[in-house]
Amino acid sequence: MKNNETKKTFNPDTDPLISVKDLKKSFKDLHALNGVSLDIYKGDVVFIVGPSGSGKSTFLRCLNRLEEPTSGEVYFEGVEITGRNVDINRHRQKMGMVFQQFNLFPHMTVMKNMTQAPRKLQHKSKEEAEAEARVLLDRVGLLDRADAYPNQLSGGQKQRIAIVRALCMKPDVMLFDEPTSALDPEMVGEVLQVMRGLAEEKMTMVVVTHEMAFAREVASKIVFMAEGQILETGTPEEFFNHPKTERLKSFLDRIL
Amino acid sequence: MNILSLMGEDIVEFFTGFGNDFYLNFIKNARWKYLVNGLGVTMKVTLFAVLIGIALGFLVAIIRATHDKAGMMSPLLKAVLNVLNFLCNVYLTVIRGTPVLVQLLIIYFVIFASVRIDKSFVAIVAFGINSGAYVAEIVRGGIMSIDQGQFEAGRSLGFSFAQTMWYIIIPQTFKNVLPALGNEFIVLLKETSVAGYIALEDLTKGGDIIRSQTFSALLPLLAVAAIYLTLVIILSNLQKLLERRLRSSEK
């Protein structure tokens, strides 16, 4: 018996790049996610917002299985990556991630931070990996810091390096977990500028953030989460000007 | 005048006494060779025991940290890891729960009882196994103290658990545990002085042999102590130098 449905080839233009189906995650007695479903298409810039403790970071971390979902499925480029026999490391190479705390490797120079994964995982030569890294460093204005160590950089510089480190793997999607929350206010702008550039290049992005003005400006779609569920999904226009649920209305009242 | 000349005689007497003692203990019959050869044995045993200790310690620490930290894996792998972790725990409990001298005696008189074997080999094995247990706990503490975000960053780039350990966690751990490791090796150097119990002629035993031949305890034992002290000071300074070099790579 042939099962054609699971063999169906993935079409990046019509099929969702990431498809999440009824995702649940509990930590002991705490239900962080109560059945979340979402499709993310190529070129989407999806912002996930909501009160703290609503499960948005957990949801993001389930997308590349840094957090193991309790149940439900995540499909990435047509492959169920929540399955038992999936080589998750291979898929993670295509999903860049940026963390709130930067998580640069302190024992490596900026250049090594950026070239380690391409060299070891994609078997690029030192020259090739470094040439690509320099192009990206130049783009974020940090070419002169290639030989610096992370503790010599400011917070904003660290986060820009963290973004280009992920980009070095040429990912198909970038996941941002509150990328500006640990930054001093005057450094937020330089990081958002880099993200804005990525969005303009049609990089698929999933962003968990509290930067509402930035979401309004850059997002193609905003997802509102509360109590481990998606309560509302819409364009920035719908989200800010025509909120449908009471929950979102009161959320917007409090933050705007 | 009288008193001064008396004191002068005493001093002269003291120095001739010392000279005689020195001659008796170190020069006569080339007794200094006991110390030099003993020093060689002590350094050989310590050096190889340290190497075994590092290898064993890192291995055990990585097994235990993997058991505690690794996420989802196949049931088979999980079962294997549980067994390994259990064995590691038994090793740590037994080795850290009994005196090193007793371990040395058991290995020499029980485990290698029926075979003729080089005593320094037995000492290397015994002290290596013993040191490994302490190194393991030092290294495990070092691994666990690395921020969880470092693991996540490594995994998010696509590195496997083992690659993340090797490229990202272990290098940072090594730097963090270096002071504690250096200390452990200084302790080990001094601990090998009990090797005389299996009649291994190490530095301590060398001094003791001289004492038993000359019936003079002061100079041989002081010489032994001075040599240990010198070695420890050299090791401490090497350690400081290494730490400074590792730290400067981050500046």
Q: A89 and B158: CB-CB below 8 Å?
A: yes
**Cα–Cα dist B210/B23, whole Å:** 12
Does residue A7 surpass a pLDDT of 80?
A: no
* B177-230 pLDDT per residue, tens: 988 999 999 999 999 999 989 888 888 988 888 888 888 888 889 989 999 999
pLDDT band at B17 (very low <50, low <70, confident <90, very high): confident
Residues of B in contact with A84 (CB under 8 A): 74
Give which of A27, A58, A86, A101 to mutate to test B binding, by max B Cβ within 10 Å. Answer: A101
Q: Which residues of A touch B (CB under 8 A)?
A: 64-66, 68, 84, 89-90, 92-93, 95-97, 99, 101, 103-107, 116-117, 120-121, 149, 151-152, 162, 165-166, 169
Say what percent of chain B tops pLDDT 70. Answer: 93
The half-sphere exposure of B199 on its side-chain side, counting CA atoms within 13 A, is 4
Among the listed residues A46, A58, A6, the one whose alpha carbon sits nearest the alpha carbon of residue A173: A46
**ipTM for the complex shown:** 0.91
Over range A204-232, report the average pLDDT: 94
Relative to beta strand A173-177, strand A95-98 is parallel
Q: Which of A115, A69, A91, A54 is nearest to A175 (CA)?
A: A91
- A87, A103, A113, A176: best to mutate for the B interface, most B CBs within 10 A: A103
**Quick check: A105 and B150 CB within 8 A?**
yes
Q: What's the confidence (pLDDT) of residue A4? A: 42
What average pLDDT is seen over chain B? 88
d(CA A22, CA A71) in angstroms, rounded, equals 8
The SS3 of residue A9 is: coil
Please report, to the nearest 10 degrees, the dihedral formed by the alpha carbons of residues B145, B151, B152, B158 taken in order: 180
Q: How confident is the model at residue B2 (pLDDT cuts 50, 70, 90)?
A: low
Mean pLDDT of A102-115: 96
Q: What is the mean pLDDT of residues A103-120?
A: 96
* Cβ-defined contact of B249 to A64 (cutoff 8 Å): no
**Can you read off the two tokens belonging to residue B141?**
């503490």
- Whole-structure pTM value: 0.83
Residue B89: pLDDT band (50, 70, 90) is very high
